[in-house]
Amino acid sequence: MDEADGALLSGGAPVDAEVGVLLAVLKGQRRHVLEMVDGLGEADLRRPVLPSGWSCLGLVRHLALDVERFWFQAVFAGDGEVIASLAGMGDAWQVEEGVDAGAVLERYRAEARIADRLAAGGVADAPLAWWPGHFEGEQHLHTLRELLLHVITETACHAGHLDAARELIDGRRWLVLT
C-alpha cells in the first residue's frame, strides 16, 4: 500500500481510518481520469469535443488546480500563498498553446500527491482552515470528511465527462457490461 491507500504515512504516523478509506476511493477516481486520457495524442487531448469548448486536457488541468489544489491546499490547509494566487489564476479549463500535455498530466499527479499528504495528516472531523468568500451563502463544507466526499463526487463526475468525450473521440469506453 502507498501513502494514499495505506494506514501509515511515510513517517510512520497512523492515518485516520475513515480518511484512509476516502483517500482510497478518491485514488480510484483519479486513476479513472488518467486512464481515460491515456493513449490520446496531443491533438485529441486538446480538441474540444462538446459545444462548451472544453478539452480533455483542460478538464484534467481544472481537476489539478480548481479541485486538488484549491480544496486541499487552500480550503483544508489554509495555505496563504495558494489562497493569494487564486485571484490571478485565470480559467483553469483552458490550456495555453505551447503548454506540454505531459506537464499538465504530471501537474495533476503532483497536486494529488500533495492533497493526499495533507488529508492523510488529518482526521475526518478536522475543520477547514479557510472558506472562499466568493461562494454565495453559508459555508456548506465544514470538515475534512465533507471536503473529501465533495472532491470524490466532483472527480467522479468529471471522469464521466471524460468517458463520454473519449467515446466521441475514438470509441473507447471505460467499462462495458454486456
Which three three-digit cell numbers place residue 126? 478536522
pLDDT tens, 73-103?
999 999 999 999 998 888 999 999 999 999 9
Which three three-digit cell numbers place residue 17? 481510518
Q: Could you tell me which residue, 143 or 7, shows the higher pLDDT?
A: 143
Instruction: Give start and end residues of each alpha helix (H) in the chain.
Output: 17-37, 42-46, 56-62, 80-85, 101-120, 144-170
Q: What is the mean pLDDT of residues 116-138?
A: 90
Confidence bin at 34 (pLDDT 50/70/90)? very high
Spatial CA neighbour of 63 closest among 165, 153, 143? 153
Q: What percent of the chain has pLDDT over 90?
A: 81
pLDDT tens, 103-116?
999 999 999 999 99
Residues 6+ apart with CB under 8 A from 70: 82, 86
- Residue pair 64/107 in contact (Cβ under 8 Å)? The answer is yes
Cα→Cα distances 21→36, 128, 145, Å: 23, 19, 11
> Residue-wise over 97-117: b if at least 16 C-beta within 10 A, else e?
eeeebeebbebbeebbebbbe
Q: What is the mean pLDDT of residues 30-42?
A: 97
Q: What is the predicted pLDDT for the residue at 177?
A: 67
Q: What is the predicted pLDDT for the residue at 45?
A: 98
Confidence bin at 6 (pLDDT 50/70/90)? very low
Tell me: pLDDT of 41 over 50.
Answer: yes
Q: Where are the domains of the chain?
A: 17-170
Three-state secondary structure call for residue 153: helix
Q: What is the predicted pLDDT for the residue at 4?
A: 41
**CATH of segment(s) 17-170:** 1.20.120.450
Q: What is the mean pLDDT of residues 9-17?
A: 68
Tell me: pLDDT of 8 over 60.
Answer: no
Q: What is the predicted pLDDT for the residue at 103?
A: 98
